[in-house]
A = this chain, B = another copy of it.
Amino acid sequence: MSSSLKDVAARAGVSARTVSNVVNGSARVSAQTRQRVQEAIDELGYRPNLAARNLRAGRTGVIGLAIPELHSPYFGELAGLLVDAARRRSWTVVIDQTHGDAEAERRLLTGDSGRAMDGLIISPWALEAQEVASTARPLPVVLLGERSPQGLADRVAVDNVAAADDATSHLLALGRRRVAAIGLQPHLHNGTAEQRAEGYRRALRRAGITPSPRWERPVASLHRQDGARAMAELLDGESRPDAVFAFTDELALGALHMAHTRGVRVPEDLALVGFDDIEDGRFSHPTLTTVSPDKGQIAERALQCLADRIYSPENQVPALDLTVPHRLVVRDSTDPGTGADRSASHLPTG
């Protein structure tokens, strides 16, 4: 068994209080005493028991991160940023994967997950805004990329409608008219797909084009294979699209794969835009034009929200609804031009 504060105190011939002071630097300790205590600590290999500290403090220093799946590049990147940002605030992150399971999301929100944490950052997938809003939450929660749950929890996201509009408008500006969309999720109501569809249609209408269900391809999930399947369906249709806006980069990369397989040239025959700006899209062939959300800011602001709620529970402002900037990164999949990434270069020239 490892040694405790008391053991160290006994060994150094001081009280527990003094050892605690030395460990935490919380009060003045004479140099001599300090050294004696330090020696005892070293000799015994003493490590403070975190569980005891947590119990005492009423806080764990742990925040939860609940995302659909860690292996998806978008969530992997975001999780990485959050872990690092949390660390800067001396927080530890425990990660849960919901796999889009409503029950799992519910458990996390209600605090029945059996995880001890001071706050939760969750990217809901299956749960609708209504249910998220009505769930009793025993701890501070920040929602990511979710339709605002009627001001009942902080939320951080890009403006999905505007972003989808930007992407679609870019395709229209290239002169494309048969612009398809891949990524609708009629079975889900978490808001994201709906908002991107809305932005897509808005851009079409502004260009004088009537949105048609024929160009809107639903997907079961957001993986590459779903994008490939949707693209196959589009290519099998009577009239082929000359542009595709995929609601995520993974879908876009799957679509790109299928285009290659079918001998469709990108961007000549088909211009393609994704969403998320994942690393893969910078090295695909051709490189992928995409909507780039500011992921660093998403991570930073989500943590800031949590910090405010956790450390200042007294002055509770109403729920925040934070919009994070995005930008369109034009690459080769829509640009038959130079072949260069015009927004962000990650390779040495030459």
Contacts and interface: CB of A to CB of B under 8 A. Distances in A.
Given A80-B97, A115-B92, A116-B54, A284 B285 contact: yes
Interface stretch (A67-75, A186-194, A211-219): A67-75
**Highest count of chain B CB atoms <10 Å: which of A58, A69, A228, A280:** A280
Dominant secondary structure at the A interface: mixed
A94 B93 contact: yes
Interface string A260-287: 1100000000000000000110111101
A225 B136 contact: no
B69 A80 contact: yes
B92 A346 contact: no
A89 interface: no
A229 B346 CA distance: 11
A90 B114 contact: yes
**Highest count of chain B CB atoms <10 Å: which of A58, A95, A111, A254:** A95
Contact of A97 (B47, B73, B83): B83
Contacts of A339: 261
A79 interface: yes
Nearest to A59: B51
B260 A138 contact: no
A256 B282 contact: no
A70 B97 contact: no
A71 B279 contact: yes
Given A70-B79, A115-B92, A229 B348 contact: yes
A201 to B, nearest CB: 28
A223 B346 CA distance: 11
B224 A115 contact: no
A283 B2 CA distance: 51
B116 A283 contact: no
A54 B76 CA distance: 30
A347 B115 CA distance: 37
A51 B224 contact: no
Contact of A116 (B51, B70, B261, B350): B51
A55 interface: yes
Interface in A247-262: 253-254, 256-257, 260-261
Contacts of A256: 283, 285
A45 interface: yes
Nearest to A254: B283
27 contacts: A47-B138, A50-B116, A51-B51, A51-B60, A61-B114, A62-B94, A70-B70, A70-B79, A70-B80, A71-B73, A71-B79, A71-B80, A76-B76, A80-B97, A83-B97, A92-B94, A92-B96, A92-B115, A93-B94, A224-B282, A229-B347, A229-B348, A232-B348, A232-B350, A256-B285, A257-B283, A284-B285
Give the 10 A-B residue pairs with the shortest CB-CB distance, closest first: A50-B116, A76-B76, A70-B80, A51-B54, A71-B80, A257-B283, A51-B55, A71-B77, A224-B283, A260-B285
Given A71-B73, A285-B285, 10 more contacts: A47-B112, A49-B116, A70-B76, A92-B96, A224-B279, A224-B283, A229-B347, A229-B348, A253-B280, A284-B284
